[in-house]
Amino acid sequence: MDICKLSATEMAACLRSHELSATEIAKASLERIQKVEGTVDAFLTVTEDEALAAAAKVDAQIAAGEQLAPLAGIPVGIKDNICTKGVRTTCASRMLENFVPPYDATVIEKLKAQGAVLTGKTNMDEFAMGSSCENSYFKPTRNPWDITRVPGGSSGGSAAAVAACEVPLSLGSDTGGSVRCPASFCGVVGLKPTYGAVSRYGLVAFASSLDQIGPFGRTVDDVSLLFDAISGEDKTHDATSKAGNFAARIREVKGLRIGLPKEYFGEGISEEVRAAVLKAVEEYRAMGAEIIEVSLPSTPYALSAYYIIASAEASSNLGRYDGVKYGFCGDRGGSLTDMYETTRSEGFGDEVQRRIMLGTYVLSSGYYDAYYKRAKLLQQNIAKEFEEAFTKCDFMITPVNPTTAFKLGENVNDPVAMYMADVCTINVNIAGLPGLSIPCGLGKGNLPIGLQMIGPKWSEGVLLGAAKCYETAVGGFAVKEM
């Protein structure tokens, strides 16, 4: 039995049947990480001692005949912008290279309460700003399907770790597509939940009104398992979180109305991506779903609105990194202003500085009304268009990325081309909706293609159920052999 090729639900079943121990599973995951990390580079920190200690506790529970929580003994990778008590949390930035949080994020508390085995912190674009996982201060992560290509970003390490079978589950964060885009590029399943469905306490902020923690897995059932564990209201720490009414997972799609937004299938979407997504749509039609065309007219303007809003919030959130309180300090003598300048110019990478400057500009006197205010008005229009479209359909299907994974270095010096990778995903964050990426085929070079399912707020149950129906119909999703 190749333990690392098992899904999380299969691992859980083996634990309960005593075919495997939690320690055996943890050791297999850690050995796999050691074997492939020189190729994939998905992890920044591996917590071997902590993982084995957590696994031993689960084995003790099994020996005592105690009932196990759903995630007990299951290895999980954690994106390195989610705080972990006593474990370095860097946001892949020089600014936080040696930062060790004194507390756990709410999602980490929930995972530990279930007995999940946390294997380490995964690589990412610095402060979650990027679409390729090349903006990490430490190293780029490589796509397990083709190591000359990017895994997507910003949660590229989390997606690559699951695709490379280092862990069956991982957590990422999604501000404009940062779970769904790498899930698509790496051929795994990724969920961006409804805004407020998962507590953001302990998630290092990029753009607070758009950020959302989300799960990765190789199967829909695995993602459902992790989502159930981390979702729910956090009355103590996150006032934006809610106890969502997540409907039971549907078992068939017959009679459901699936909307195809015409703006998502036009210019800019590669033919192989369009064809793969539309082929999946025909699978749904064959299962009895009704396919209808819908329109979201503001879609062409959403990318501009997103980068104005996200950069404005980033400019505010990242103001705390001044070299005084914690993190990197670029003190070379001189005035306080000199220290601030040195700290921020040396502590932040180019992409982070670019977005801070843009955000500061659009919030400055004389430009606030011209840019930020107009972007926020467009945000309201986008949300209203989705609401209107959902009166005609139960959920929508679109591409996730315009293309398959691009080459490492291909877009690194072209910010606009890099930003376009998120063109199909940002509207979901702007409107606060749930979005799910599932594999729907392979393109040229055997590279994965993903389709995106978008639903109304709190419709994760419908999306996951419909995705499970597709997964079953096509016989499951391919796993990359490494």
> What is the CATH classification number for the domain harbouring 186?
3.90.1300.10
- Omega before 154 cis (within 30°)? yes
Tokens of 172: 């990422």
- Exposure string of 334-363, with b = 16+ CB inside 10 Å and e = fewer, is eeeeebbebbbeebbbebbeebbebbbbbb
Domain extent, residue 41, equals: 3-254+435-450+460-473
Sign (positive or negative) of CA dihedral 46, 50, 53, 54: negative
Candidates 178, 199, 298, 437; catalytic one? 178
- Assessment of whether the complete model's pTM goes beyond 0.95: yes
The per-residue pLDDT for 426 is 97
Structural domain includes residue 330: no
Q: Are 452 and 435 in contact (CB under 8 A)?
A: yes
Whole-number Å distance between alpha carbons of 425 and 182: 11
Residue 305 token pair: 């609105």
* Residue 386: inside a domain: no
Catalytic residue among 154, 199, 298, 311: 154
Note if 154 is an active site residue. Answer: yes
Residue type, 444: K
Q: What's the structural domain count of the chain?
A: 1
The answer to whether residue 403 sits within a structural domain is: no
Give a yes or no: residue 408 inside a domain. Answer: no
How far is the C-alpha of 223 from the C-alpha of 93, rounded, in Å? 28
Structure-block tokens of residue 335: 């005035």
Amino acid 248: pLDDT:
67
Whether 129 is covered by a domain: the verdict is yes
Task: State how far the alpha carbon of 323 is from the alpha carbons of 83, 326, 336, 345, in Å.
Answer: 20, 6, 10, 11
Q: Which residues contact residue 284 at a Cβ distance below 8 angstroms, ignoring those fewer than 6 apart? A: 253, 258, 291, 397, 466, 469, 470
Structural contact between residues 207 and 359, judged by C-beta atoms closer than 8 angstroms: no
Do the domain assignments include residue 346?
no
Specify whether 295 is catalytic.
Answer: no
Task: Decide: 419 and 131 in contact? Cβ < 8 Å.
Answer: yes
Mean pLDDT, 10 residues at a time, the chain of 482 residues? 96 98 98 97 98 98 97 98 98 97 98 98 98 98 98 98 98 98 98 97 97 98 96 96 78 96 94 98 98 97 96 96 91 86 95 96 92 96 98 98 96 84 95 98 97 97 97 92 78
d(Cα 198, Cα 200) in Å, to the nearest integer? 6
Q: Within a domain: residue 341?
A: no
Q: Using CA atoms, how far apart are residues 390 and 145, in angstroms rounded to an integer?
A: 35
**Residue 184 domain flag:** yes
Return the sign of the alpha-carbon dihedral for residues 43, 44, 48, 50.
negative
Q: What is d(CA 83, CA 260) in angstroms, rounded to the nearest whole number?
A: 38
Q: Is 79 a residue of the active site?
A: yes
pLDDT digits (tens, 9 = 90+) for 135-161: 999 999 999 999 999 999 999 999 999
Name the catalytic one among 7, 21, 79, 132.
79
Sheet of 213-217, strand order: 43-46, 117-122, 75-79, 169-173, 213-217, 189-192, 435-442, 448-454, 395-399, 257-261, 290-294
Residue 222 near residue 168, CB atoms below 8 Å: yes
Residue 224, amino acid: S
